[in-house]
């Protein structure tokens, strides 16, 4: 089994890289990718744990981006040079902007009656990353919600108008792709069905809009698309695989697992598959392409 979209506590996951690798081993997952948001701190630990456990760990990252139209999307990067100075500088800049955003989020939550402090957001010793899922976990631990998912329900807490008005400046999708390619990596569009701003009006042709978006991203250097994903329905996955082939993109699969405490319904290796899912072919393609990048 393979899972190329996993988070550790170096971003908004709840497990250490070693714990994640051990869980993959117990779950029969042979190949994983650690794709923490806007950071690479857990990659060395993950690689060491993978070597000791016999799990192939692919280095990755997940960047929050938008294009010139304001369409918000996540770009995954794999097998890049972690020492690339341009990529490292951009990641540091993104982290600084996130810290500034988090200050405003705390103030917005206090405005709607949630008395969270910076200390409440420190979920482990040495933590230096705080994302929106971190806020959701903190809200749960303080008793405001029964689960992190509840914090993101429409009109609730993290989805209230006051909190949603707080934005963070995002890197452009074109820039993200260029950075990953410039560091020798493979840029992949994450969970395309979650690109909610791709269409403007209900009833618009989502897949038609996505087709145009993929053509643009491909022209910028996109190399793959996450077609198999925990939140995708089988019928959507089938359409996505066809589109990936049309645009000559690598087909990838990932659960977006953050830890059982965050969402008990998402498990490592847990993504919807269809009758056409060929795990052996995917593993062969991923290994042949990704491993060449790692040599």
Domain membership flag for residue 263: yes
User: Cα–Cα distance between 227 and 237 in angstroms, integer?
Assistant: 6
Q: What does the pLDDT look like over 132-181, one tens digit per residue?
A: 888 998 999 999 999 988 999 988 899 999 998 998 778 999 999 999 99
Whether the predicted pLDDT of 295 surpasses 50:
no
Instruction: Answer whether residue 66 is part of any domain.
Output: yes
Q: pLDDT-derived band of residue 275, with 50, 70 and 90 as boundaries? A: low
Residues 6+ apart with CB under 8 A from 109: 116, 135, 139, 157, 163
pLDDT top residue among 189 and 270: 189
194 assigned to some structural domain: yes
Per the domain annotation, does 68 fall within a domain? Answer: yes
The tally of CA atoms less than 13 A away on the side-chain side of residue 223 is 18
**Comparing C-alpha atoms, which of 4, 120, 113, 122 is closest to residue 56?**
4
Residue 52: is its pLDDT beyond 50?
yes
Q: Confirm whether 79 is domain-assigned.
A: yes
Q: What is the pTM of this model?
A: 0.89
CATH number of the domain residue 248 falls in? 3.20.20.140
Q: Which domain holds residue 82?
A: 2-91+173-294
Residue 151 belongs to some domain of the structure = no
In a domain, 188, yes or no: yes
What value does the mean pLDDT take over residues 82-107?
Answer: 93
Contact 192, 207 (CB under 8 A): no
Q: How many separate domains does the chain show? A: 1
In the structure, what pLDDT confidence band is assigned to residue 292 with cuts at 50, 70 and 90? low
Other CB atoms closer than 10 Å to residue 159's CB: what's the count? 12
Structural domain includes residue 196: yes
């Amino acid at each position: 089994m393979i899972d190329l979209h996993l988070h550790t506590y170096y971003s908004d996951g709840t497990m250490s890289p070693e714990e994640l690798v051990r869980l993959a081993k117990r779950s029969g997952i042979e190949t994983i990718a650690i794709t923490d948001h806007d950071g690479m701190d857990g990659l060395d630990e993950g690689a060491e744990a993978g070597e000791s456990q016999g799990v192939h760990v692919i280095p990755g990252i997940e960047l929050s981006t938008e294009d010139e139209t304001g369409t918000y999307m996540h770009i995954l990067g794999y097998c890049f040079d972690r020492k690339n100075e341009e990529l490292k500088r951009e990641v540091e800049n993104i982290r600084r902007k996130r810290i500034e955003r988090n200050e405003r989020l705390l103030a917005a939550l206090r405005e709607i009656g949630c008395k969270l402090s910076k200390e409440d957001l420190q979920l482990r010793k040495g933590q230096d990353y705080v994302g929106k899922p971190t806020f959701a976990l903190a809200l749960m631990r303080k008793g405001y919600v029964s689960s992190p998912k509840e914090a993101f329900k429409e009109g609730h807490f993290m989805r209230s108008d006051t909190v949603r008005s707080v934005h963070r400046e995002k890197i452009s999708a074109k820039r993200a792709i260029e950075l990953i390619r410039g560091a020798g990596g493979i840029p992949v569009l994450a969970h395309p069905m979650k690109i909610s701003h791709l269409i403007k009006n209900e009833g618009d042709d989502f897949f038609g809009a996505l087709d145009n978006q993929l053509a643009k991203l491909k022209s910028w250097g996109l190399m793959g698309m996450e077609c198999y994903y925990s939140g995708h329905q089988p019928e959507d996955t089938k359409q996505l695989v066809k589109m990936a082939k049309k645009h000559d993109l690598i087909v990838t699969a990932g659960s977006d697992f953050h830890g059982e405490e965050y969402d008990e319904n998402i498990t490592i290796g847990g993504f919807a598959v269809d009758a056409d899912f060929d795990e052996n072919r995917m593993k062969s393609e991923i290994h042949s392409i990704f491993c060449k990048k790692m040599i």
